[in-house]
Structure 1
Amino acid sequence: MITTFGTTYKRLREAKNITMQKAANQIVSKSFLSRFERNLTNISFAKLYALLLNINVSVAEFIFIDNVYHHRHQAFYFDDTKDYLDQITKLTHQQLINDYFKKWQENQSTYNYFNYLKQKHLTRTEHLTPTEIHEVSNFLFNIETWTHYEIRLYMSTMDVFPAPTVYALTKQLLHNGEITLNVDWNHQADFTYILLKSALLASYQHDLEDAVYFSDQVAQTIDNEQYLYEKTELHFIHGLIYLQKNKTALGNQTINEVFSIFKQLDSPNLLRLYQQRLKKFQAWQH
């Protein structure tokens, strides 16, 4: 199957003012590169990788740009971590549900089936059935090396699982996905999101050991100031942990520090969200 990689490569090469001769240097002939750039021939991954090095473009960037140029949905794109979707986004997700369901019916591929379940859950218009939830967890538990696909599938569906399953899957992610942690910033952000959500869940459930474990893992992951919001959320979770340890004064002080940050930054929605989180934590105690 001929891809669109050739025309995308040409656009990038020309945008960088790199001649065909320089781009092809010691990799392929100029005539072969010309055919490739007109989408008349395929190319091996090894040669494409070498050609990309000659124009200073990474493979990840190239695939992303190729999809953008040709108006294709990003297979691993997780557009939001909000707990709601606006109407336009819902319509987009519904189109994706229909598309993945149709593709799954046509070829019965696991990839399309779990994308269908993921999108169905994200719209909140349909609940995943117990059988579907079991299929997702069983699939993830049987993956030895988690890559972008498995991480995003878990991110999208982790709130359907009971707490013990979340703890187990997150620990499996740490063990089986660590190799991909430093692929790019998005991978690190995904890890951080999952760890924070797991730590928060453990705090709600008053599962102190797991709350401490996941919060410690977060602290090791967010090692620079790019993660200021995540550090604020972690500080809040630390406050909940102090309360669980009966360090009431320290816990209240820590949580009030988070509230103060949101007040200072004029972020009433975040302040309200975290006040609700505190109430949820307190409700479990009663």
Structure 2
Amino acid sequence: MSLPLGETFHDFREDKNLSLSQAAGDIVTKSFLSKFEKGGSSISFENLWLLLQRMNVTLSEFVYRAYGYMWTASVDFFHELTRAAVDENFSALDQLIADANARYQKSNLVSDHLNYIVARSVKFSLEDKQLPKEELDYVLDYLFRSEDWLRYDIEIMRFIIPFVPVDTLIQMARALLKHSSDFMKTGLNRTETGEILLNILALLIKNRKIHDAEVLFGLLHRNPTISSLILYSIQLHALKAALWFVSDQQDKGNAEIRWVLDTLHHLDQNRFARQISAQWNDLTGENLDFAQLFPNQQ
């Protein structure tokens, strides 16, 4: 498939209201950029990257538009799989399993075989069955061949962890925290990786791996990326409280904001609690005295 890179670049440049000279800068010539936009010349990845940076456009945004605002096949697959799992739609799961297997038989690609196994794992999970050991081993061998996991690998983990042995879960959690800090800075990656780590913690507790659970809890509690997930959610509750308060539901608003502050207090997030208190005062016009609510906190 030949992507319309030049045409896509032209669209972004027009959106930014930039002339050819402004977009080209000292990276390429104006005439070269004009030819590239019209499909008359190719461009090196390095120069395309620099031109996109100049326009404040990310590579993923550029590729997404070039593909006609369509997700890649793997992202579409995992979206469909998630939807089928949430709806417990077995007919959709069977179709996804069959399609993945058909692709694998034709392509012999590892990714197609992985997709087939992962789709089966979802169905087995809903049926409270165990994934065959050889299939689980195939997935784990793939994952631990390199622990520098990216989006596709994270998607696989989301579905496979209910079947992973406890000792391997501990290894997986440590590897995620060690190698994925940069990867987790992106919003969706952060959410999905955080979900995996919390699910691993839950499985450790369920299997009474107390020491390992305590260690992982400490790592997660000190991890700023994981903490931010919790704080985003709590801040949403704080805004909901303010919305209730200003829409003549003062009792509900007061109860919700008190829950927010109590929760932050128990999480040792008193600095953030003071910020929430200041935001409440600004949004509602009502004074919420943090020092009065928690007199023992500095």
TM-score between the two structures when normalised by the length of structure 2? 0.63
SS at match of 2:111: helix
Cα deviation 1:230-286 (Å, max 9, x = unaligned): xxxxxxxxxxxxxxxxxxxxxxxx9xx9xxxxxxxxxxxxxxxxxxxxxxxxxxxxx
Measure, in 1, the Cα distance between the counterparts of 2:168 and 2:152: 19
Measure, in 1, the Cα distance between the counterparts of 2:201 and 2:83: 18
Select the residue among 158, 161, 165 that pairs with 2:168: 165
Q: Compared with structure 1, are the counterparts of its residues 81 and 167 closer, same or farther at alpha carbon in structure 2 (3 Å cutoff)?
A: farther
Select the residue among 115, 140, 144 that pairs with 1:137: 140
Measure, in 2, the Cα distance between the counterparts of 1:40 and 1:101: 41
What is the CA-CA distance between 1:72 and the residue it aligns to?
3.8
Q: Does residue 73 of structure 1 match 2:76? A: no
Q: How does 1:267-278 map to 2 (within 5 A)?
A: none
Measure, in 1, the Cα distance between the counterparts of 2:91 and 2:55: 39
Cα deviation 1:61-95 (Å, max 9, x = unaligned): 3334444x24343634754878943278974x666
Q: Which AA in structure 2 matches 1:175?
A: K
Measure, in 1, the Cα distance between the counterparts of 2:221 and 2:135: 33
Q: Compared with structure 1, are the counterparts of its residues 164 and 47 closer, same or farther at alpha carbon in structure 2 (3 Å cutoff)?
A: same
* Bigger RCO of structures 1 and 2 (CA < 8 A, at least 6 apart): 1
Measure, in 2, the Cα distance between the counterparts of 1:72 and 1:205: 38
Q: Compared with structure 1, are the counterparts of its residues 42 and 111 closer, same or farther at alpha carbon in structure 2 (3 Å cutoff)?
A: farther
What is the CA-CA distance between 1:111 and the residue it aligns to?
2.8
* 1:187 counterpart residue number: 189
RMSD after superposition = 3.6
Q: Which runs of 5+ in 1 are unaligned?
A: 230-253, 258-286
Q: Compared with structure 1, are the counterparts of its residues 158 and 196 closer, same or farther at alpha carbon in structure 2 (3 Å cutoff)?
A: same
* 2:227 counterpart residue number: 223
Residue 64 of structure 2 contacts residue 71 of structure 2 at CA under 8 Å; is this kept in 1? no
Residue 85 of structure 1 contacts residue 123 of structure 1 at CA under 8 Å; is this kept in 2? no
Q: How does 1:45-84 map to 2 (within 5 A)?
A: 45-67=45-67, 69-73=68-72, 75-76=74-75, 79=79, 84=85
Cα deviation 1:160-180 (Å, max 9, x = unaligned): 223222222222222333342
Residue 52 of structure 1 contacts residue 58 of structure 1 at CA under 8 Å; is this kept in 2? yes
What percentage of aligned pairs have identical amino acids? 26
TM-score between the two structures when normalised by the length of structure 1? 0.66
Q: Compared with structure 1, are the counterparts of its residues 105 and 82 closer, same or farther at alpha carbon in structure 2 (3 Å cutoff)?
A: closer
Larger radius of gyration: 2
More off after superposition, 45-54 vs 173-182: 173-182
Measure, in 2, the Cα distance between the counterparts of 1:82 and 1:71: 18
Q: Which AA in structure 2 matches 1:49?
A: W
Q: Which runs of 5+ in 2 are unaligned?
A: 236-262, 267-298
Measure, in 1, the Cα distance between the counterparts of 2:90 and 2:62: 26
Measure, in 1, the Cα distance between the counterparts of 2:157 and 2:150: 11
